[in-house]
Amino acid sequence: MKQGHVPFQHSSIMFQSQSSPGGYRADIDGIRALAVLSVFFFHLQPTLLPGGFLGVDVFFVISGYLITGIILRENHLRTFSFIHFYTRRVKRIFPALFVVLGLTAFVATFSLPPDAYDNFMTSARQIFSLPGRLAISMKGSPVNRCFTPGHSEWRSNSIFSGRC
């Protein structure tokens, strides 16, 4: 077996993760960077890269691939936990979210007209209140209330409305 391949068995299918010992994949990171840049250039000037919005889809597909690998590997090792999985996601994503939102709010204060600024601040407050809403919704176990075995989708707005 080549160095950097980590095989694991799941449901009678052999999966191989082509990664360095630390799990970092420069090739995938490069594709994600191109996806982000395509979206950036699309927002900068839509005629510059007319299909740049597709970078969002590419980014999500790659992220799904990586996350699926993590879940399958941890499940095989019997170390998977939803709480630990989402805790790692929050620790990784929220600091960047708050920095970007804070800097954007600062710039918006000086650059947006009053109506647009009010709309922006309403959205910003909703983003800052999201962790609290998610924590509150988890106390009532939305999985038990809103998702039953055999059904393939969540009921509309179940986590945020508290209803199912």
* Cα dihedral across residues 88, 94, 99, 100: positive or negative: positive
- Phi, psi at residue 5, to the nearest 5°? -95, 125
The predicted-structure confidence for 2-50, as pLDDT tens digits, reads as follows 555 555 554 444 444 444 445 788 999 999 999 999 999 998 888 888 8
37 and 22 in a common domain: yes
The predicted-structure confidence for 71-117, as pLDDT tens digits, reads as follows 999 999 999 998 999 899 889 988 998 899 899 999 999 999 999 89
SS3 content of the chain, % helix, strand, coil (to 5): 65, 5, 25
Check whether 159 has a pLDDT greater than 80. no
Check whether 146 has a pLDDT greater than 70. no
Total domain count, the chain: 2
Task: Please name the residues in contact with 49: beta carbons below 8 A apart, sequence gap of 6 or more.
Answer: 38, 41, 42
pLDDT of the residue at 72 = 94
Domain enclosing residue 9, as ranges: 1-80
143 and 70 in a common domain: no
105 and 30 in a common domain: no
Residue 123 has which token pair?
Answer: 């959205």
Q: What is the DSSP string of 134-151?
A: HHHHHHT-HHHHH--TT-
Position 147 confidence tier, pLDDT thresholds 50, 70, 90: very low
